[in-house]
Amino acid sequence: MTTEPLPSPEERERLRRIENLRAVLAGPPPAGPPARRPSAVDGAGGAPTGGPGAAQDGAHSGHRTRNASFGAVGAAIAFLAGKLKFLSLLAGALKFKTLATMLLSIGLYATQWGLPFAIGFVLLIFVHEFGHVIVLRREGIPAGAPVFIPFVGALIAMRGMPRDAYVEAKVAIGGPIAGSIAAWAVLGAGLLLERPFLVALGHTGVLLNLFNLIPVSPLDGGRIAGAFSRGFWVVGYAIGVAALLLTRSPMLLLILVVGLFTLWQRWRHPVPGYDAIPRSKRIAVGLGYAALVIALVLSTSIALGPGARS
């Protein structure tokens, strides 16, 4: 038997480089099923049998799948939490704006009429504005949060237009209805408890809502009158001018000027079909408006007896 001489170290290094070059040129091997780790003892046919190593690999694969699923769920939860946090901050900012302007108004009113009356007066205005909010939500009209303006009142910016003048009238009358109910409740409590302070506060709320029902735009009365008779706008401006001459109020002058501009824009750029309201709805709005005005006027004459407690 002939024995071949062993290759020298230089020869072995040259062969190893040649094999590496072939492997690189051949590219990666085709993908196939993963080979299982053989156990310490093979089966009778030479095929490897499953053992602790195979079970461990399967467990690791299951853990990786579950971890990937948990990661996806966690990312989705984090995304939703971020969105909810943003909405929560947005809602908080809107509420803060209302609360901040309420507190500012209370502070300024308190310098004129004292803190208790200022708090009650601002709360009556808030109830009035909340009446508008209720109708706006029922009609599906988006709107901003109430903003209080000291010595002017409060306002709610509508971010959508009413469908027609009838819906606008309902939104407008919602505030005076809610505000009048609150004013009558305070007035009734003052009469029942014989508290002049509550009676005075209730009368102030009555006058506040009665003033808002003057048929002059942009007051609530002007928006209501547009649904049943535009002729009431002439009456409203006659009342407004007379009140301006008596009171010389800059705020009333501003309201009249803004109202004239609003009416001019409405007549110049009419919306087709906006004022096309059935006669029955016009009558209903007119009767509701008249009943509320009469009830508020009659409420101004209610007073305590001479023996009331202070």
Segment 144-162, tens digit of pLDDT: 888 999 988 898 888 888 9
Answer whether residue 80 shows pLDDT above 50: no
Identify whether 72 is part of a domain.
no
Give the tens place of pLDDT for each residue, 193-214: 999 999 999 999 999 999 999 9
Identify whether 58 is part of a domain.
no
For residue 195, give its domain range.
Answer: 90-299
3-state secondary structure of 127: helix
Give the tens place of pLDDT for each residue, 108-136: 999 999 999 999 999 999 999 999 999 99
Of 83-87, 242-246, 285-289, the poorest mean pLDDT is in 83-87
Identify whether 159 is part of a domain.
yes
Identify whether 35 is part of a domain.
no
pLDDT score, position 10:
61
**CA 209/CA 180 separation, integer angstroms:** 6
**Per-residue confidence band for 261, with pLDDT thresholds at 50, 70 and 90:** confident
Neighbouring-strand partners of residue 143: 158
**Phi first, then psi: what are they for 143, rounded to 5°?**
-155, 160
Cis, peptide link before residue 215, omega less than 30° from 0: no
Identify whether 197 is part of a domain.
yes
pLDDT score, position 86:
46
pLDDT score, position 155:
87
Task: Count Cβ neighbours within 10 Å for each residue of 229-242 and write b for 16 or more, e otherwise.
Answer: ebebbeebbeebee
**Phi first, then psi: what are they for 267, rounded to 5°?**
-75, -30
Give the chain's domain count: 1
Q: Answer with the residue of higher pLDDT: 179 or 274.
A: 179
pLDDT score, position 52:
46
Identify whether 113 is part of a domain.
yes
**CA 227/CA 284 separation, integer angstroms:** 10
**CA 203/CA 304 separation, integer angstroms:** 12
Q: Return the DSSP state at 40.
A: S
Identify whether 43 is part of a domain.
no
Asked if 183 and 202 count as a contact pair (C-beta separation under 8 A), the reply is: yes
Element (H, E) at 147: strand 147-149
Identify whether 82 is part of a domain.
no
Answer whether residue 93 shows pLDDT above 90: no
**CA 146/CA 143 separation, integer angstroms:** 9
Neighbouring-strand partners of residue 148: 154
Q: Return the DSSP state at 141.
A: -
Q: Answer with the residue of higher pLDDT: 87 or 92.
A: 87
**CA 306/CA 217 separation, integer angstroms:** 40
Mean pLDDT of the residues in the chain: 77
Longest dimension (CA), the chain: 143
Asked if 209 and 180 count as a contact pair (C-beta separation under 8 A), the reply is: yes
Q: Answer with the residue of higher pLDDT: 271 or 135.
A: 135
